Amino acid sequence: MLHTLQWNTLAHRRMTNSLIMLYKTHHQLVNVDHCHLTPTRNLNFLIPQSRTQYHMNSYFTRTIRYWNGLPYLVKSSPDLDSFKARLGEIKF
């Protein structure tokens, strides 16, 4: 049915929305404390160290892994609309 309606899976939509929220957080478009995000030179973030599986699957840790896997062109989008458009062009 998803294929017939040309909808993305729930997992894909969750990942996309998580990446959009991380973009907003990084560019301070939302009022979220982002002190735990450590950027690197190539627009990646350092993945926080974790001892538990619970933390490794937390929102920021999981989303940072997705973010670091994005092409540079997507991460360097100048505004939210272009980020969403470029993100929509990627096949996960």
Q: For residue 58, what are the CA distances in angstroms to 2, 18, 21? A: 27, 11, 14
What confidence tens digit (pLDDT) does each residue in 6-20 have?
A: 788 888 999 999 999
What phi and psi values does residue 22 have, to the nearest 5 degrees? -65, -40
What confidence tens digit (pLDDT) does each residue in 18-31 have?
A: 999 999 998 989 98
CA separation for the pair 78, 74 (Å, rounded): 9
The residue ranges of every structural domain in the chain are: 9-88
Q: Across all residues in the chain, what is the average pLDDT? A: 87
pLDDT for res 2: 63
CA separation for the pair 56, 65 (Å, rounded): 10
pLDDT for res 14: 93
What phi and psi values does residue 74 have, to the nearest 5 degrees? -70, -50
